[in-house]
Amino acid sequence: MATLTDLDGIGRVTGTPEPVLCHNTLGPASTRLAADGHLVVVGWEHAGGQPPSWELANALLDWAVVPGGSVNVAGARALLDGYRATAGTLPPLDLTAFRGAVTSLANYVFGQVDAALEATDDEERRYADRSVAHLLTHLPTRAVLEQLLDAATGAVRR
């Protein structure tokens, strides 16, 4: 699939920034609003070392790309404003910051395709076929990542 091979080239020729302890799946499903109005991050079972720019890029992808591939610019800017307000500064963001997200996505696609190929009964196969088809038609493209980066760059300049 052209989208996967195009995404595979992101950050391939660059080094990996220094990792720190990160949540690693900081999407909407990993957050809750506490009674006092503060955001609580849950689900730390995938925590581990990752460059902060990679985690932030992955969070931007999870929070600010809507189904169909359009970018929620206001959402991206709000996420970055909140990050900056809490951390004091943003890690460097460029297209290579999406390398971790792209690698995770490729691994997920592999697992879903493998599960579909291993399906043993008709119902399981039909479900897997629909699931993989949906996944492959909703992958983010390089253009979407660039739009997301443009939204982030606009947030940095404000």
Residue 30 lies in domain: 2-157
Top pLDDT among 148 and 156 is at: 148
Task: Count how many domains the chain has.
Answer: 1
pLDDT of residue 157: 46
Q: Is the pLDDT of residue 11 over 90?
A: no
Give mean pLDDT, residues 135-142.
88
Top pLDDT among 89 and 11 is at: 89
Give mean pLDDT, residues 111-135.
92
Nearest Cα neighbor of 151 from 86, 56, 96, 80 is 80
Give mean pLDDT, residues 104-131.
92
pLDDT of residue 146: 93
**pLDDT range class, residue 9, cuts 50, 70, 90:** confident
Cα 149 vs. chain centroid, distance in angstroms?
Answer: 12
Alpha-carbon dihedral of residues 125, 128, 133, 134, nearest 10 degrees?
140
| Mean pLDDT, the chain, whole residue set | 88
- CA distances to 105, 111, 122, 136, 140 from 116, in Å: 16, 9, 11, 13, 21
Quick one: tokens of 139?
Answer: 């992958």
pLDDT of residue 155: 53
- Residue pLDDT, tens place only, 44-100: 999 999 999 999 999 999 999 987 788 999 999 999 999 999 999 999 899 999 998
Cβ within 8 Å of residue 93, ≥6 positions away: 53, 56, 57, 149, 152, 153, 156
CATH code of residue 49: 3.90.1200
Give mean pLDDT, residues 7-17.
73
Give mean pLDDT, residues 104-127.
92
pLDDT of residue 69: 82
